[in-house]
Amino acid sequence: MYHIKKEFEALIADAKTEEDIKQIKAKFLGKKGKVSELFKQMGGLGDEQKKEFGKNINKLKQYIEDSLTNKQTQIKEIRKKESLEKESIDVTLPARRGFLGSIHPITKTIIEIEDIFKSMGFDVETGYEIEFDRYNFEMLNIPKEHPARDMQDTFYINDNVLLRTHTSPTQIRVMESKKPPVMFISPGKVYRRDSDITHSPMFHQVEGLLIDKDIHFSDLKGVLSDFLKIFFGDVPVRFRPSYFPFTEPSAEVDIGCIICGGKGCRVCSNTGYLEVLGCGMVHPNVLKNVNYPDEYNGFAFGLGVERFAMLKYGIDNIKLFFENDIRFLKQFS
């Protein structure tokens, strides 16, 4: 019995895995194990001896069982410790930086434009990118076959439905739904068959409309001059007579080209100026179309957001806004 105990102790001291434990258990406590063999030897003993021998075998059996359980617990603990060490997280390490996107320069420009007009008391309205011919042209004093339709090369969906060519239809939609006075701007996407370094088939405009009593061209000039000064700072601005069927008189506003400092470059077609918006006093026919009373008049304007962003950030090709090159976009984060 003593030898069995010594043999067991040597094996259990060397055991390193649960498989080792299993094998030792089978070797000593299994059906044909060494302890079971001892029980078999009891047959030839007298009563007193049997009792004594049985007690000792049971003691040995208990000792082996307890030792196996303890060793198994130890092995499990070691395993757990090892795996915790392997998978441990150092909570004191600095966190990995997240990949944050940034606001697109066009959105940034729209937000900036909105903030300036909101500070002057203008509301912000939204229109529809898919419009009826009636709102995009007819109600704006541009009947079918009118030559002014050629000013905006249009994507038609069918005879009556199109991709809006400007944000001006929002003027009609708002005036149809609201009594005067009205004072709002309306940003959004517009579409034209147009493409070069300063023209894109899809671009953004911000429409503006102010209708009240006794509004004059000087009000239009004052509001737009103030807005341009806040947006661009000190740059040359010029109002140039122009023509739009929905305003009379009409003007276009040019900004001194920031790309070349007014010397002349491919962006400003060597003129030193870039056209950024169209404006004018709302044509009486338009006010009549929405049944506004005669004592009301006002001014409207429509500006090209991409042109504003190009001049503000010194960008010399409109396509850069739509290629979504991360190296370009990152500069605005």
Give me the least distance between CB of 305 and ligand FA5, in Å please.
8
Residues 12-71 that bind ligand FA5 (CB under 6 A): none
| Candidate segments 16-24, 53-61, 215-223, 297-305, binder of ligand FA5 by CB under 6 A | 297-305
| Candidate segments 2-10, 57-65, 104-112, 302-310, binder of ligand FA5 by CB under 6 A | 302-310
Residue 276 in the binding site for ligand FA5 (CB under 6 A) = yes
Residue nearest to ligand FA5 (CB): 304
Handedness of CA 89, 94, 95, 98 (dihedral sign): negative
| Candidate segments 97-105, 119-127, 215-223, 270-278, binder of ligand FA5 by CB under 6 A | 270-278
Residue 297 in the binding site for ligand FA5 (CB under 6 A) = no
Residue 279 in the binding site for ligand FA5 (CB under 6 A) = yes
Complex with ligand FA5: residue 28 or 184, whichever CB lies closer: 184
Complex with ligand FA5: residue 67 or 165, whichever CB lies closer: 165
Q: Per DSSP, what are the bridge partners of residue 219?
A: none
Residue 307 in the binding site for ligand FA5 (CB under 6 A) = yes
Ramachandran angles phi, psi of 207, nearest 5°? -90, 150
Task: Check residue 270 and give left, alpha or beta (phi > 0: left; psi -120 to 50: alpha).
Answer: left
Alpha-carbon gap, residue 274 to 46, rounded angstroms: 121
| Candidate segments 83-91, 178-186, 217-225, 300-308, binder of ligand FA5 by CB under 6 A | 300-308
Q: β-pairing, 202-213 with 182-191?
A: antiparallel
Closest CA to 186 of 232, 117, 120, 254: 117
Would you call 303 helix, strand, or coil by DSSP? strand
- The angle at the Cα of 14, spanning 11 to 17, to the nearest 5 degrees, equals 105
Give me the least distance between CB of 300 and ligand FA5, in Å please.
4
Residue ranges in contact with ligand FA5 by CB under 6 A? 152, 166, 168, 192, 194, 199-200, 203, 205, 244, 247, 275-280, 300-304, 306-307
